[in-house]
Amino acid sequence: MDPRVTFRLYVTIGLAVALIGALWALADGSAGSGPAGPAGQVKADPKGVEVTMPQAATSLPSVQLHATPASNPCAQTPVQQALASGGDDAVVAAFGGGAAFRAAVAAGNAPCIDLSDPNRDWVVVNKARPLNPLTFAPTSFGDPALSVSGAGSLRSDAAHALDQLSAASDAAGAGSIALASGYRSYETQVQTYSGQIATYGQAQGDALSARPGHSEHQTGLAADVVSCAGGCGDIDSFGGTAAGAWAAENGWQYGFIVRYVAGQTPVTGYDPEPWHLRYVGVPLATAYHDGGFTTLEQFFALAAAPAYLG
């Protein structure tokens, strides 16, 4: 290309760029101090070119928030009918299953569910949540097929579930599981607790045994168990047996959880008790297992209960 043509092209482009820059500068100055006043259309007209300035934002639009109230499962007919029938598994199913039941209760969105009702599988009894009444006793009892002398009974549905658990453990090669201590009345717990305090002192006794009216055993839903592989052992050795490991891993399939596990004493207030199985029903035990929970307090979003309130 002829160098003169190239030179003219560069000059033409340079002049165009300079002209555009001058126009923008003129428009900017007019917007700040010209007669057009507030931001809007400002005309710069040296060559008959009109420049429109953008409208300046002087405020932000308001944001409208609309809260949608959570539905109350207790207002639903299936839930009301299940509660009236008395079937705990049916109630949980009406909520949509164990996970949905737990979520509603933990969120405070299930006013029809009373975690203090000792007649229900979901009752929570701990050092901060005594039974109501303190002298509560179940109305239905059953004796497990396998139990040691003096073990007592369980609530009938818990006894049946323990039979299934024991049979499954035995079939899996871990050995059968027997009830060593089940339901304890208020009066029996008075003796049990007093004996622990006399032996170990107040602090250690409180970590080993519940005060009367604060024991899960009084609900008929708690089972202290032993392994009976080649002869029944004692509760202290249960956690180290094949049956103890199997129950911890598979008990949820039969409605049981290990209530007091290692590392949770600051929450439960009790030393670990791998032999202490608590019946909550299969739907809730499944949600407990699937959610990776380790205490009922955590499961239902309740406060820790490391010590008695008074």
pLDDT tier at 310, thresholds 50, 70, 90: confident
Q: What are 40-84's pLDDT values in tens digits?
A: 555 555 555 565 555 655 665 665 655 445 579 999 999 999 999
Task: Give the domains, in start order, of the chain with CATH numbers.
Answer: 132-282 (3.30.1380.10)
Could you report the per-residue pLDDT of 191-210, keeping only the tens digit for each? Answer: 999 999 999 999 999 998 99
> Given a cut of 60, is residue 29 above it in pLDDT?
no
Residues in the chain: 310
pLDDT above 70 coverage of the chain, percent: 77
- Euclidean distance between CA atoms 51 and 42, whole angstroms: 7
- Asked if 208 contacts 124 with a C-beta cutoff of 8 angstroms, the reply is no
**What is the average pLDDT value for the chain, to the nearest integer?**
86
Average pLDDT over residues 23-51: 50
Catalytic-labelled residue, pool 50, 187, 273, 297? 273
Q: Between 257 and 54, whose confidence is greater?
A: 257
> Vertex 119, ends 267 and 288: CA angle to 5°?
45
| Annotation marks residue 50 as catalytic | no
**Sequential DSSP letters for 22-79:** HHHHHHHHHHHHSTT-SSS-----SSS---PPPPPP-SPPP------PPP-GGGSHHH
